[in-house]
Amino acid sequence: MKKILWSFLEVVETLVIAVVAVFLVRNFIAQPFLVSGSSMEPSFSDGNYLLIDELTYRFRPPERGEVVVFRYPLDRRAFYIKRVIGLPGERVVIENGEVSVMKDGEELDLKEAYLPVDVTRGSFDVTLSGSEYFVMGDNRNFSFDSRSWGSLSGEDIVGVVRFRLWPVNEAMAFTAPAY
């Protein structure tokens, strides 16, 4: 009888450790994210299953070109995925299909090699405050992003996309493109 009780306690202990470990990882280190919609095509498609790194931004701010998941500023229950284009203190100008980013009055060399040619339409001009980011989808003509609802507060950013897990034939790790 003691042996059965001891085995039962070991199973319970293992389950408690597993539940605590999953809770800690899911809430503080990484979490899954399912892409819904086409705003990030061709980089990510509807139905892609991603792994979001929530730990990195506790140690450093987001960098230009990183794909981030964030709480939509006008409805914090909704989560969006977009690419960081403008960083705090920079000026973002969209004119004639070109995206320009200025830092300290100097235009940065913004090469968006991950995009097809001439995909950005409309006009926009904004200077970001010390805690704001400008984000856009890669499918610029079909993306509801900072051009529509304004800049994104750094507090709303949940994490950075690190891996695509699904579909399996497209599984891969992601890093920010070099500008």
The residues, ordered by sequence, that sit 6+ positions from 70 with a Cβ below 8 Å of its Cβ are 79, 80, 82, 135, 152, 156, 157, 158
Classify residue 125: in a domain, yes or no: yes
Higher pLDDT, 68 or 127: 68
- As for how many domains the chain has, the answer is 1
Task: State the catalytic residue, choosing from 7, 36, 39, 45.
Answer: 39
Q: Longest Cα pair distance anywhere in the chain, in angstroms?
A: 80
Classify residue 13: in a domain, yes or no: no
In this prediction, residue 88 has a pLDDT band, given cuts at 50, 70 and 90, of very high
Higher pLDDT, 115 or 141: 141
Classify residue 97: in a domain, yes or no: yes
Tell me, what CATH number does 99's domain have? 2.10.109.10
Helical H segments across the chain, by residue range: 2-28, 146-149
Classify residue 8: in a domain, yes or no: no
DSSP assignment letter at 54:
-
Residue found by looking up tokens 């913004």 in the block: 110
Higher pLDDT, 19 or 158: 158
DSSP 117-151: SS---S-EEEE--TTEEEEE-SSGGG--SHHHH--
- Domain extent at residue 79: 32-173
Residue found by looking up tokens 């230009």 in the block: 64
Classify residue 18: in a domain, yes or no: no
Position 46, amino acid? D
What pLDDT shows up at residue 179?
A: 60
Reply yes or no on whether 111 is catalytic: no
Higher pLDDT, 120 or 147: 147
Classify residue 164: in a domain, yes or no: yes
Classify residue 81: in a domain, yes or no: yes
Reply yes or no on whether 143 is catalytic: no
Classify residue 1: in a domain, yes or no: no
Dihedral angle sign, alpha carbons of residues 103, 104, 105, 107: negative
Task: State the catalytic residue, choosing from 82, 143, 146, 151.
Answer: 82
Q: How many CB atoms lie within 10 A of CB 87?
A: 19
Across residues 67-91, what is the average pLDDT? 88
Residue-wise pLDDT for 130-158, tens only, equals 889 989 888 877 888 888 888 888 889 98
What are the φ and ψ backbone dihedral angles of 164, each rounded to 5 degrees? Answer: -100, 120
Does residue 10 surpass a pLDDT of 70? yes
| pTM of the predicted model as reported, rounded to 2 decimal places | 0.74
Q: Per mean pLDDT, which range of 15-19, 27-31, 82-86, 90-94 is the poorest?
A: 27-31
Across residues 90-95, what is the average pLDDT? 84
Per the prediction, the chain carries an average pLDDT of 78
What CA–CA distance (Å, rounded) separates 128 from 151? 7
